[in-house]
Amino acid sequence: VTTAGPIAADFFDGRSSARHLVQATREGNLLRIAGAAVALEVPVEHANVQPRIGRTPVRVLLPGNALLLAEATELERLLPIPRSRGLAHRLESHLGAVFASLAGVVAAAWLFVQFGVPWAAREIAQRIPPEMERDIATQSLNQLDGYVFSRSNLLPERQAKLRALFAELRGSARGAAANAQLEFRDGGLIGANAFALPGGTVVATDQLVVLLRDDERVAAVLAHELGHLEHRHGSRQILQSSIIGLLSAAIAGDASTLTTVVVGLPTMLIHSGYSRDFEREADRYAYGLLEATQRSPRLLGEALEQLENAHPARTSSCSPDDAPPQRKRHGPTAEDLGYLSTHPATPERIRDAEAAAR
């Protein structure tokens, strides 16, 4: 009879949680386990050796729910240890699988950012209480007034006429856009532009009104902004960036990102513009409002064309044109390329407006 061992092991009797220090020996076909309060003989065929998982001790299941734990390097002197067929071991031993799962994680993250985050942002945006959105709008406008805008120089009669047009459009709106307010500001560096602040404030700059001349075209741009309000694009944009920012912060363990997200809201509204999808959605909404008030969707195309002609190097976002004028002198920058790549070209939107008019 061949003998192997003894080896040191831990033994649990299956009835109590007490751990017994034991010595295990193999004698022929018998596994002998001996300790201060343990004396046991188990036929080898009744010792069920579990596959090893990483560097953890190997588990040997014994009759009566008893359990023997031993280091793999020791135990293999007594009993063969089966190769793991478990996922964890396969991942450890196959680099290919590791890279495949890494690719899976990257793909899942991409899908999450591409579809999950916008979905979550839309769902959350619809549940933000209106008064909270109005607070955000008020604070954002205050900040913009502090560093970008100044008081409008439009004549009171012109303002009154545009407000009447705005009220007419709003009269055909439902939901979030139905209670919208219109504000005029001198756009300063921002120039000809219009914004929809979450909570229901549309801001039009003097420069936009002056550039478009025709109030009906201004109305078309305002209808587009009402579309952003109706679909809560502002809140959704903020939420999307915040969710991604917070996730990055969580992953990188950098809390300063959170501060950046919170402080950067007004800046983000002005500079990053909206996504292609948001612009299309707001355009479609504008066509509907224009038609509901006996106007042609073509007005929006004409307005965009005028804005485009004023700054041919730029394409339009919500933000029919949102570049500070002095930046245009330096030709396209990396930022412009990013902007071009994420915003539909104005010619495309002009064509869409023409098509909607037919």
Say which DSSP state 194 is in: E
Residue whose CB is less far from Zn ion, 234 or 265 = 234
User: Which residue is listed with tokens 């044109």?
Assistant: 321
Q: Is the dihedral of CA 243, 248, 251, 252 positive or negative?
A: negative
Stretch 240-279: interaction string toward Zn ion, x if CB under 5 A: ----------------------------------------
Provide the token pair at 344: 């539909």
Stretch 107-146: interaction string toward Zn ion, x if CB under 5 A: ----------------------------------------
3-state secondary structure at position 4: strand
The number of residues that bind Zn ion (CB under 5 A) is: 2
Shortest reach from residue 179's CB to Zn ion, in Å: 19
Provide the token pair at 217: 């075209």
Residue whose CB is less far from Zn ion, 220 or 243 = 220
Half-sphere exposure of 222 (CA within 13 A, CB side): 31
Residue whose CB is less far from Zn ion, 133 or 230 = 230
Shortest reach from residue 91's CB to Zn ion, in Å: 47
Q: Which of 57, 17, 63, 19 is nearest to 38 (CA)?
A: 19
Which H or E element spans position 353?
helix 346-357
Residue whose CB is less far from Zn ion, 289 or 318 = 318
User: Which residue is listed with tokens 């602040």?
Assistant: 197
* Maximum CA extent, the chain: 111
Shortest reach from residue 204's CB to Zn ion, in Å: 13
Shortest reach from residue 107's CB to Zn ion, in Å: 31
Shortest reach from residue 221's CB to Zn ion, in Å: 9
Residue whose CB is less far from Zn ion, 298 or 349 = 349
Residue whose CB is less far from Zn ion, 24 or 318 = 318
Shortest reach from residue 270's CB to Zn ion, in Å: 12
Residue whose CB is less far from Zn ion, 31 or 118 = 118
**Is 148 within 8 Å of 189 (Cβ atoms)?**
yes
Shortest reach from residue 228's CB to Zn ion, in Å: 6
Shortest reach from residue 283's CB to Zn ion, in Å: 8
**Which residue, judged by CB position, is nearest to Zn ion in the bound state?**
318
Q: Is the dihedral of CA 334, 335, 337, 338 positive or negative?
A: positive
Q: What whole-number distance in Å separates Cα of residue 58 and Cα of residue 10?
A: 11
Stretch 278-317: interaction string toward Zn ion, x if CB under 5 A: ----x-----------------------------------
Provide the token pair at 281: 């959605």
Q: Does 223 bind Zn ion (CB under 5 A)?
A: no
Q: What whole-number distance in Å separates Cα of residue 280 and Cα of residue 79?
A: 69
Residue whose CB is less far from Zn ion, 318 or 350 = 318
Among 117, 197, 318, 350, binds Zn ion (CB under 5 A): 318
Strands 66-70 and 30-35: unpaired
Angle (nearest 5°) at CA 141 between 178 and 293? 25
Residues that bind Zn ion (CB under 5 A): 282, 318
